[in-house]
């Protein structure tokens, strides 16, 4: 297994934050008119990052193309305890607060998502595959996001050497996007 900076674990599901948890639905069961209510359900693991809810610290990310393992420590009192979790394409993932709702809305059951693919990052700036995946998501969701081009064609690529990657237009766009973004 090779070492990586991080991995994006892509699933077959979309999510919507509800009052008592996260509702999951399969991508192919959502109509185009319903898409704006959902966001893609994915997991991101980055070496050196800490999960805010569990306090798990990622020390290492390793993978082989079809699976990725995040490992590190979590503090238990004053003692660091090792942990490791592996995600494999084709496996299902879930958590206590993830649920599915019946079509008539009358009942809930444990929700799950199936891992479709894993996008690996060799370094913190290795974003081409992630940006290209985001471009696909934008087209599927009907979003026209002007700042999601791959790094090879992004106008900021020529400005990177000058240190001025983000202009005023970009800042304004991001402020508007943040103000209108549904956080689910």
Q: Is 112 exposed, middle or buried (0-12, 13-18, 19+ CB in 10 A)?
A: middle
The residue ranges of every structural domain in the chain are: 1-122, 127-184
Enter the tokens of residue 157: 């690529």
Averaged in consecutive runs of 10 residues, what is the pLDDT profile of the chain (184 residues)?
Answer: 92 81 80 79 89 88 93 92 94 77 70 90 88 78 53 44 54 64 49
Q: Give the separation between CA 13 and CA 11, rounded to whole angstroms.
A: 5
pTM over 0.75: no
Please report the pLDDT score of residue 159 as a whole number. 43
7-30 pLDDT tens trace: 999 998 888 877 777 778 888 887
- Whether 121 and 9 have beta carbons less than 8 Å apart is answered as no
Enter the tokens of residue 170: 């970009």
Those residues whose C-beta lies under 8 Å from the C-beta of residue 53, and which sit 6 or more positions away, are none
Please report the pLDDT score of residue 153 as a whole number. 44
Please report the pLDDT score of residue 174 as a whole number. 63
Coil, strand or helix at 9: strand
Tell which phi-psi region holds residue 163, choosing left (phi > 0), alpha (psi between -120 and 50) or beta. Answer: left
């Amino acid at each position: 297994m090779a070492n990586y900076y991080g991995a994006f674990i892509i699933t077959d599901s979309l999510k919507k934050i509800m009052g008592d948890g996260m509702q999951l639905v399969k991508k192919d069961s959502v109509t185009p008119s319903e898409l704006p209510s959902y966001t893609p359900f994915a997991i991101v693991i980055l070496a050196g990052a800490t999960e805010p809810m569990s306090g798990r610290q990622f020390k290492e990310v390793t993978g082989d193309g079809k699976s990725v393992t995040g490992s590190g420590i979590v503090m238990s009192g004053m003692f660091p305890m090792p942990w490791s979790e592996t995600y494999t394409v084709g496996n299902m993932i879930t958590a206590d607060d993830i649920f599915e709702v019946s079509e008539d809305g009358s009942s809930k059951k444990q929700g799950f998502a199936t891992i479709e693919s894993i996008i690996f990052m060799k370094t913190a700036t290795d974003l081409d595959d992630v940006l290209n995946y985001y471009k696909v998501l934008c087209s599927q969701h009907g979003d026209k996001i002007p700042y999601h081009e791959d790094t090879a064609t992004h106008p900021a690529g020529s400005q990177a050497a000058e240190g001025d990657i983000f202009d005023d237009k970009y800042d304004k766009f991001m402020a508007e996007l943040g103000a209108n973004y549904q956080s689910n």
